[in-house]
Every structure is written in C-alpha cells, then in structure tokens.
Amino acid sequence: MTSDLRNRLLLLLLAPLCLLALAGAWLDYRSADEAAGRHDQRLMRLLPALADSILSPAITEEGEPLLLLAPPVEEFLRQNGGTSGFSVLDLKGRVLLGDDWLGNAVPTTQVPEFHSVEHDRVLYRVAVQRSHTGAGELVVALADGSDPRQQWGRQMLLRVLLPNLALIAAAALAIHWAVRRAFKPLVELAEAVERRSPRDLSPIDEAASPAEVRPLVDSLNRLFALVNAQAESQRRFVADAAHQLRTPLAGLQAQVEAWALAARGGAAGAAGAQSSDLMPDVASARVPLAQGAIVLGAEEIEKLRQATRRTSKLAHQLLALSRADARNLDALAPQSVDLKALCESLLEDFLDAATAKGLDLGLEVAPARTHGHGWLLRELLSNLVDNAIQYTPCGGTVTLRCGMEAGSAFLQVEDDGPGVPEAERGRVMQRFYRLPGSAGEGTGLGLPIADEIARAHQAELALGQGARGQGLLVSVRFAA
C-alpha cells in the first residue's frame, strides 16, 4: 500500500515537471519561430538591394557581371561574417558571383523562395529570388546562418532536452527521498501492525503517528477496542459457563456413579438370593423424588452414567479451549517445561484407562525441554492420549514419545487404530467435527484444542500415518 502511494505521489509530482519542460520547449520553439520569421522578412527585403547591386550590363572578360554591393547588403554581410553568404546565378543555375555552395535550382517565378542549406556544419536559411538586374534577369540568393529556428533543432539537445532531463532526474531523486522520509512513519506503523500477535489488540500509540494518519489510527484503535471487548465477552462466557457447569456435573456424576454401584451391588445380591422375594427388582436402583420414586434399570443407569461423563468432559474441554484462546497468555512469562517428565506423568494418569481396555500404553522418551506453559502442554498431550485410547480397539498399542530432533523438541502420540484419512485431516482440526462413523462418544474438541495450544506455543501440530501403515501419528514440533 505505501509503495503504491509513494509511486503515485512521485508520478503526480513528476508529471507536472515533464509538462512544464515540454511547455518550455514549445515556447522556446515558438520564440525561435517568431525570430526566424523576422529573419526571413529581413532577407526578403535585402534581395532587391542585392539585385540592384549589379550595376552594369557589361560582362567582364571572365564572363561575370559587375557587382557593387549596396550598403544594406554590405552591412548585413559584415555583421554576420562567417554565418552569412550571397550568390548571383544565371538562369541555368550557374554561379556567377558569390559563394559556390549557394547554387540551387532556378525559381520559375519572381516570388521569393526560402530553403535550408548545410555548409561547414552550419545550417543556413537561404532566400532566393529571380530578379531583373542591370545585367539582365538573374537569380540572387542570400544566406543567414544565425537564424534561431535553423539552430534550434541542432541546439535543442543541449539547450532544452539535456537541462530539462537533468532537472527532472534531480527532482525525481529529491522527491523520492522526500516522499520516502515523509512516508517513513506510515511504513513503521504498517510494520508494527503486521508484527503484532493476532491476540494483541492493544491500542496503537497515536503520538508516534503522523498527524495526517491519526484519524486512521484512532479508527483502528476503536475497532481494536470493539473486537477486544467482543472477544473478551465470548471468552468470559465460555469460561464462566464451563466453570459453572463443572460443579453440578461433578455432583451429578458422583450420584450416578453411586446409583451404578448400587445397581451392580443389587444384581450381585440377587444372584446370591436366586428366588428370594425380598428383592423383586435386582438389577435396578430406586431414585427418591419429591412425590415418590423412579426405578431405573442397570442399562438406563449405565446410559446416564456415560452421558454425565461425556457432558463433564465437554465442560472441561470448553474450559481448556477458553484458556488456550485467552490473550493473556502473551502476558504470562513462559517457563522451561520438561517434556520427558510430562510424558511420564501422563502415562501414570492414563495407565488404568488403557489397562481397562486391554491396550499396551508405551513410552519412548528422551530428555527434551521447551519454553511454554506447562499446564497447557499437559492439556495438549492429555487430549492426544485420550483420543488415542478412545479410538484404538481393544488389544491395540498407544505410544508416547518425546525428544530432540534438528535442534527442536517434539512430542508424538502414535496408535494403531483406524487412523484419519488424508482427505479428512484438515477437517478434523475444526471444532466439533467428527469423522463419519466414528466409534465412541467424542466431542470433536480434542484435536482442535491440541492444535490451538500448539499454535499458542509457536509449534506445529501435524497428522500422519502410523509406523506400520495403519493408525494415526500426531506430531507436535516446537520451534528451535
């Protein structure tokens, strides 16, 4: 944008200079043309005097007429010595008197004619007329090499073009320097905005901006304030909603777990009692309400249990997503995070879930550290491991890896589950999107949360295929 403005301003400033140079050349030519017109008139007035200078009809032994130059002609030749000439020709075009180089075609009428002749690198304006003289009808010619119109074309390069081109070139350099200096604050403002983090919506310093662009800066600051207020409102809503949901959901989940335990205990007791009439509904739990009780079967309790777990997980993920989106992460000083210790801790947390499903949860770690927020990186890895355990079939393998490669730290979670088709790998990064026909009851937030946290740490999250041609390999590579 600034480059386009600079070029446009440079063009707008140089165009008038070029027009002025052309106008100056045209005026110079007009001035030369007017002066040349006066020279033509002078030559035309001198031709009769030159014809009258041939006084005697006698012809000399050399065959030339006698010539006594009239005072006006003599004065003209004296004043313009070296740049003037004359000649007297007979009707056959032969030069009888004067300069031989002035020989030319004989006019057919007595009307004065004008033409140009170049001699000794001087361009002459020549006036020719067929006249009656004392020696009979002859042709007289006068030449003037000081005609400004004749010299203008030759001198235009030195007098007009070169000075004007030099002036335009110097003006272009001066204007370019001045425009560049004038646009420097605007360029710095554009670079400062471009270098900003997408999360940085703080106002721009108006005092550091030129007065001409302060209205634009003020408008940008108002826009930043509106966007920041809207984004902050959305973040607060998601965070508050997720936080407020966690407490009742935790209580509901605890109650459902108790019902499930009671239902399983009742079923076990019923198996011991066999045909006893003391427990008429052995696979159920009685839920007390204000007006009575609702009897839930074990299958309904299990469905309710899964629903509450899924809702609790969704609230937790929404809160994690809100934290990962928060702009105040830029204000928190990053710390050194031990990725090896993080992987070992996550292995302990998910070992029971993997064992319950019959999965081989392995660890391949090497010392690796990176700068960031440990609690967010833990959330990132937790989502990846949870996804791997959820979608890997029973008897499968899930492996956690970390280490250093080419000077940068990395995290990897690999499984041998169904994987993600290459065509779908971009879409699974979208929030709440799940692959058609996916098993389990996921929320579609695990990978988007991990990707959001990775981008907040200037890291790249990539999806690939497992080592044995099946499953999914999720890699997070941090900047060196």
Higher-confidence position of 39 and 269:
39
8 Å CB contact between 335 and 378: no
Q: Does this model's pTM top 0.85?
A: no
Intra-chain end-to-end CA distance of the chain, in Å:
33
Task: Tell me, yes or no, whether 344 and 435 share the same domain.
Answer: yes
228 CB burial (10 A radius; 0-12, 13-18, 19+): middle
Residue 294: give its domain's CATH number.
1.10.287.130
Task: Tell me, yes or no, whether 262 and 357 share the same domain.
Answer: no
The answer as to whether 430 is a domain residue is yes
CA distance 204 to 199: 14
Q: Which among 323, 354, 384 is the end of a domain?
A: 323
Q: Is the pLDDT of residue 359 over 50?
A: yes
Q: Is the pLDDT of residue 271 over 60?
A: no
pLDDT of residue 305: 65
The answer as to whether 188 is a domain residue is no
Distance of CA 31 to the CA centre of its chain: 51
Q: What is the DSSP letter of 160?
A: I
CA distance 371 to 156: 72
> What are the structure tokens assigned to 320, written together?
């994690």
Task: Tell me, yes or no, whether 340 and 466 share the same domain.
Answer: yes
Task: Tell me, yes or no, whether 218 and 315 share the same domain.
Answer: yes
Task: Tell me, yes or no, whether 380 and 298 share the same domain.
Answer: no
DSSP-assigned beta bridge partners for residue 84: 144
The three-class DSSP label of residue 137 is: strand
Task: Tell me, yes or no, whether 138 and 265 share the same domain.
Answer: no
> What are the structure tokens assigned to 85, written together?
């000439």
Residue 84: give its domain's CATH number.
3.30.450
Number of domains in the chain: 3
Q: Provide the pairing of β-strand 397-405 with 360-365.
A: parallel
Q: Which domain, by its residues, includes 317? A: 214-270+282-323
Give residue 300's pLDDT band: very low, low, confident or very high (50, 70, 90).
Answer: low
Task: Tell me, yes or no, whether 109 and 257 share the same domain.
Answer: no
8 Å CB contact between 66 and 144: no
Residue pLDDT, tens place only, 166-216: 877 887 788 778 777 777 777 777 777 777 776 677 788 777 777 777 888
pLDDT of residue 289: 43
> What are the structure tokens assigned to 253, written together?
């989940």
Task: Tell me, yes or no, whether 301 and 384 share the same domain.
Answer: no
How many Cα atoms sit within 13 Å of 274 on the Cβ side?
0
> What are the structure tokens assigned to 419, written together?
């994987």
Nearest partner of 443 among 429, 431, 427, 425, judged by Cα = 431
Distances (CA, A) of 337 to 81, 303, 371, 479: 99, 39, 6, 14
CA distance 246 to 233: 20
CA distance 462 to 464: 7
The answer as to whether 314 is a domain residue is yes
The answer as to whether 208 is a domain residue is no
Task: Tell me, yes or no, whether 405 and 266 share the same domain.
Answer: no
Residue pLDDT, tens place only, 444-463: 777 888 888 888 888 999 99
Task: Tell me, yes or no, whether 317 and 362 share the same domain.
Answer: no
Task: Tell me, yes or no, whether 305 and 368 share the same domain.
Answer: no
Q: Provide the pairing of β-strand 360-365 with 335-338.
A: unpaired
The answer as to whether 353 is a domain residue is yes
The answer as to whether 45 is a domain residue is yes
Task: Tell me, yes or no, whether 406 and 436 share the same domain.
Answer: yes
Nearest partner of 476 among 434, 414, 424, 422, judged by Cα = 414
What average pLDDT does this structure show over 131-138? 83
How many Cα atoms sit within 13 Å of 73 on the Cβ side?
23
Question: What φ, ψ does residue 445 adopt, rounded to 5°?
Answer: -115, -10
The answer as to whether 461 is a domain residue is yes
The answer as to whether 66 is a domain residue is yes
CA distance 424 to 342: 29
